[in-house]
Amino acid sequence: MSKEMLPAWNLVQTAHVVGLRFVEMFAAVDLTPTQFAILMHLDDDDEALTQAQLARRVLVRPQSMGALVAALLERGLVIRDGPAGRGRRSGITLTDAGRGALQRAWPAVRALNTPAALGLTPAQAAMLDESLDHIQAVMSKAADSEAAAT
């Protein structure tokens, strides 16, 4: 049987391999990839974000965000500006300790994202980044349309 071209499946397999590298790298700074993503989004935003907003940005289910935020709260990496609870809007913000954790992680994140670390030329890395953004947008739109139809 000839090798069939399955780019989306190849992407899933590649994401797994790259994800494992990130898990190892973040373990060295006592974070998970998802915790890093939460801290990064909080650092990017000038205002407090709700758990629902964070879930959308980090691409996890809202039900999963409670435990993720609780772990970050316990470690003092984030604070909540109001009471948590169903139907209560409370914002989450980054603490100085959270900014410190990000600063410790960024050098390794940047190193793992260099074209050389990916085995690519700068032009190939730029094309890959653009293609991945496009695929994510298309697939997200399709998922949103399917969810709206049900």
- Those residues whose C-beta lies under 8 Å from the C-beta of residue 91, and which sit 6 or more positions away, are 47, 48, 49, 50, 80, 81, 82
Q: In this structure, how many other beta carbons lie within 10 angstroms of the beta carbon of residue 77?
A: 24
What are the tens digits of pLDDT across the range 21-46? 999 999 999 999 999 999 999 999 88
Q: Which of 48, 77, 53 is nearest to 65 (CA)?
A: 53
> Over pLDDT 90: what percentage of the chain?
80
What are the tens digits of pLDDT across the range 55-79? 999 999 999 999 999 999 999 999 9
What is 7-113's CATH topology? Arc Repressor Mutant, subunit A (1.10.10)
Cα 70 from Cα 148, distance rounded (Å) = 30
Domains of the chain, by residue range, sit at 7-113, 120-150
